[in-house]
Amino acid sequence: MRHFHERPAEEGQGRFREYMMMARGGGGFGRGGFGGPFGFGDGDGPGRPGRFLGQGQIRLLVLHLIGEEPRHGYDIIKAIEEMSGGFYAPSPGVIYPTLSYLEEAGYVVAADDGNKKRYSITDEGSAYLADNMFEASMALKALSTIGDKMKRRKERHKAEAGPELPRSVDVAMLNLREVIARKLDDDPAAASEIVRALLEFTARYE
């Protein structure tokens, strides 16, 4: 039987502070808090907000969601995306290997549901989740904090910009604003170059 790595309490406290720094966008994970070209990390591919949760936290998060109710893999992806306010949608390449791992460990069972599989938690999975709820709660808190932050930004952006944009475009615009802000912090003289580039881009779609 395979088991997840369990962290000592002191390390767990450190991870909690680390998660909160990540959720607030600062400290230790590249400029802007998450690394990557947009300050959010790019673990799932260039130009996309990448995975910021460790593999163990992803497993516990998936197990928690399945514990709430049986779910398909796609349901889990959408649930995490919604919890993070659109900031992070794990790829199938992250979720389905995680589900296979949980099934092999005996923490979930899969049942055929048409051409898909629906996963349910087992008694062993529930017991393991209860034993590791602190670590799972950190992942949930990180997603909730980021989701709240994204919601506030989206509301502020909507008030400033007017028309509502598709979520993917809106997230990309938020990333762009943060990249520009960091660039201007380092080099205020770059403002004219940035404005020129934005005007050229706008002209292409007028």
Q: Are 124 and 51 in contact (CB under 8 A)?
A: no
- For the chain, what is the mean pLDDT? 76
Most confident of 112-116, 117-121, 141-145: 117-121
- pLDDT score, position 110: 96
- pLDDT score, position 160: 64
pLDDT tens-place string over residues 124-168: 999 999 999 998 888 888 888 888 887 787 777 666 656 677 878
- pLDDT score, position 172: 84
Locate all alpha helices (DSSP H) within 69-190, ordered by sequence. 73-83, 92-105, 123-131, 133-161, 167-186
For the cut 70, the answer to whether the pLDDT of residue 6 exceeds it is: no
Cβ neighbours of 3 (radius 10 Å)? 10
Alpha carbon 51 to its chain centroid, in Å, reads 6
Residues 6+ apart with CB under 8 A from 90: 44, 51, 58, 76, 77, 80
Half-sphere exposure of 93 (CA within 13 A, CB side): 5
